[in-house]
Homo-oligomer: A and B are copies of this chain.
Amino acid sequence: MKRRQIIAAAGVGLAATALAACKQETPAAGGAERSQERFNWKMVTSWPKNFPGVGIGAERFAKLVEQMSDGRLKIKVYAAGELVPALEVFDAVSRGTAEMGHGAPYYWKGKVPAAQFFCALPFGPNAQEMNTWLHRGGGLELWEEVYRPFGVLPMACGATGVQTAGWFNKEINSVDDFKGLKMRTPGLGGEVLTKMGGTVVNMPAGEIFTALQTGVIDATEWIGPYNDLALGLHKAAKYYYTPGWQEPNVTFELDINIKAWETLPADLQAIVRAAARDVNGDMLDDYNARNMDALETLKGEGVQVRRLPDTVLARLKEVAAEVVEASAAADPVAAKVWAQQKAYLQRLYEYAEANEKDIYNIRG
């Protein structure tokens, strides 16, 4: 093998060529041969460019993978609408338009009704409980089983932690105050509102502020202080209600096209998995810290933070339980997921009584 032949083999394949020639003499180079393959992937997301919290977390994931792989796996991140619309991320990854996607599972509940059980449930698990179920309670295995027919491999990749009940221009003092309330609130929370006599009016993020300011809607739920402040919702609504009963946590997902995934060597697969776990924890830390900062800013600007009355929360909880059961019963796959998840979460909630919950209460 002459020098000019090595040069002739220039480019990505070079090291592989050079090393393959000597492989039998250098077993250690076996891994190295493979490790020279380079991949340039696309990741479509449901987030606007530089979107606080979740959007920045998705970009951090791509950066981590590039650093860890020394540039062998480069992931170009596309904001919502750049390649596909926000809510078509799952489809794009499923059909291979992009190798990866980042979004919220319940965005595709129209296509995969079971997806929302891996994402958020009213009066449901907080981030720690969702992570425990996913990574030690059989949740991730169910999630992979549910997405496999679509050629998509899911991983948990970020969490918001506890959200807020939302921004209201009408006070909520009793269950009757939901009657006729026009509110932007998607997912199961929206179904609860409808059952409470309200009207759900959903719209993209860009339209919420004006709709609230002009009275097209009386209230809106968004995410939490960090994202809500960025959207300026405090300039369009009087009251900021807690707690976020409708979403005690939202878990975000990394979607990977399975055919593309199978072309990655084992080391790059391990890097992708670890980067997703890193971001899964880091995004929660980011939301906790920034939500705290943002709430202090909002209070400083005179925002009236109120807590929903216990009587209202009690009724919302009853209705939410009916809505979750009905939603699971409407789809056999969702029913299977919920049956397993419900049993596991009930054990986790009972365990938390004498631990996490009690610590919050004794600390005062």
Contact = CB atoms under 8 A, between A and B. Distances in A.
A14 B26 CA distance: 8
A352 to B, nearest CB: 7
Nearest to A35: B70
Contact of A31 (B71, B134, B266): B71
B131 A281 contact: yes
A72 B275 CA distance: 18
A28 B330 CA distance: 53
A362 B26 CA distance: 63
B243 A347 contact: no
A248 to B, nearest CB: 5
Given A15-B15, A15-B19, A161-B355, A123 B363 contact: yes
A25 interface: yes
B281 A132 contact: no
Contacts of A305: 354
A203 interface: no
A267 B67 contact: yes
Interface stretch (A83-91, A209-217, A289-297): A289-297
A15 to B, nearest CB: 5
A6 interface: yes
Interface in A152-200: 161-162, 164
A6 to B, nearest CB: 5
A222 interface: no
A326 interface: no
Contacts of A69: 267
Interface residues of A, number: 94
Contact of A349 (B248, B310, B363): B363
Interface in A1-15: 1-3, 6-7, 10-12, 14-15
A339 B216 CA distance: 48
A105 interface: no
Given A357-B360, A363-B123, A3 B1 contact: yes
A142 to B, nearest CB: 15
Nearest to A352: B360
A281 B349 CA distance: 19
In order of increasing CB-CB distance, the 8 nearest A-B pairs are A136-B289, A70-B267, A67-B270, A281-B281, A357-B360, A277-B278, A162-B355, A18-B18
Given A35-B35, A69-B267, A317-B363, 4 more contacts: A14-B26, A162-B355, A274-B274, A349-B363
6 contacts: A14-B26, A68-B271, A123-B363, A128-B128, A244-B359, A292-B351
